[in-house]
């Protein structure tokens, strides 16, 4: 099984350096996990730390693995001009739109997860997916990242199934042509589940929504982590292909190469 990993953070949350030694450690792990492509994907607040010339040199030294460069942007309503300015500043291969904040609350950060206990969970699901809809509608992104991240700590809605909250955004995604990331990081979190859930992936398959893969690695040892499980689940559901990117143009490749 040959894999791709399009969600790899070199500088993490700013605590690491974007240098040759660290990059080479990521590439070596990509090789050991049988990746054909690795996508270096920094959070938007750290994009200026990316050394595009260094990436070119690392690519020349490692011709067996395609290296792509992307940006993960937090979507904030009303900040589209600022986001567009950053997008226009560099030669990205792909852009992932994500939601990590609800009204300024970083709900996926362990320091702030206790707010779930004093919140109405169904309301949070409504707010979260409304922000995902706006992310899709912005037209800024190629991929939607970790689609059901709101479940990270294991909180489930009560009034209706979690996949029912995702249904409106899936229709938007289908109409927009945006790709959905199948992200293995949830398996490392308390929810112990791939993003998105199997039920949502089944909805996606029925709508013929294309997918790509990401581990959400923040250290070299996480590159490619659990992506084989993602592929096996996709194949079980019925998927036979995934999407790769270069200069924001996508191509379809088979799940089994």
In a domain, 100, yes or no: yes
The 8-class DSSP code of residue 80 comes to H
Half-sphere exposure of 61 (CA within 13 A, CB side): 13
In a domain, 181, yes or no: yes
Q: What is the CATH number of the domain that holds 188?
A: 3.20.20.140
Select from 160, 252, 152 the least CA-distant residue to 197. 152
pLDDT in tens, the chain (257 residues): 779 999 999 999 999 999 999 999 999 999 999 999 999 999 999 999 999 999 999 999 999 999 999 999 999 999 999 999 999 999 999 999 999 999 999 999 999 999 999 999 999 999 999 999 999 999 999 999 999 999 999 999 999 999 999 999 999 999 999 999 999 999 999 999 999 999 999 999 999 999 999 999 999 999 999 999 999 999 999 999 999 999 999 999 999 75
Q: Which helix (H) or strand (E) holds 203?
A: helix 198-206
pLDDT (0 to 100) of residue 27: 98
Q: Which domain holds residue 206?
A: 69-227
In a domain, 101, yes or no: yes
Question: Could you identify the residue written with the tokens 């904040």?
Answer: 101
In a domain, 86, yes or no: yes
pLDDT (0 to 100) of residue 1: 72
**How many folded domains does the chain comprise?**
1
DSSP class per residue in 191-202: T-S-BS-HHHHH
In a domain, 89, yes or no: yes
Q: Are 98 and 41 a contacting pair, CB within 8 Å?
A: no
The two structure tokens encoding residue 122: 């169904």
């Amino acid at each position: 099984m040959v894999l791709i990993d399009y969600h790899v953070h070199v500088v993490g949350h700013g605590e690491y350096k974007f240098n040759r030694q660290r990059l080479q450690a990521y590439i070596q792990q990509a090789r050991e996990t049988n990746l054909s492509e690795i996508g270096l994907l920094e959070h938007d607040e750290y994009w200026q730390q990316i050394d595009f010339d260094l990436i070119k040199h690392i690519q020349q030294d490692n011709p067996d693995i395609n290296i792509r460069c992307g940006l993960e942007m937090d979507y904030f309503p009303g900040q589209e001009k600022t986001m567009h300015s950053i997008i226009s500043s560099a030669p990205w291969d792909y852009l992932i739109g994500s939601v990590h904040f609800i009204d300024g609350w970083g709900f996926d950060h362990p320091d702030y997860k206790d707010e779930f206990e004093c919140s109405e969970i169904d309301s949070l699901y409504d707010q979260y997916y409304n922000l995902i809809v706006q992310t899709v509608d912005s037209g800024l992104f190629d991929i939607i990242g970790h689609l059901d991240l709101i479940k990270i700590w294991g909180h489930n809605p009560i009034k209706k199934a979690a996949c029912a909250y995702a249904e409106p955004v899936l229709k938007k995604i289908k109409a927009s042509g945006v790709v959905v990331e199948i992200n293995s990081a949830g398996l490392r979190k308390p929810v112990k589940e791939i993003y998105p859930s199997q039920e949502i992936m089944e909805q996606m398959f029925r709508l013929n929504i294309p997918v790509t893969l990401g581990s959400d690695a923040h250290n070299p040892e996480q590159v490619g982590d659990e992506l084989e499980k993602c592929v096996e689940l996709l194949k079980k559901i019925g998927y036979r292909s995934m999407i790769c990117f270069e200069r924001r143009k996508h191509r379809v490749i088979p799940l089994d190469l």
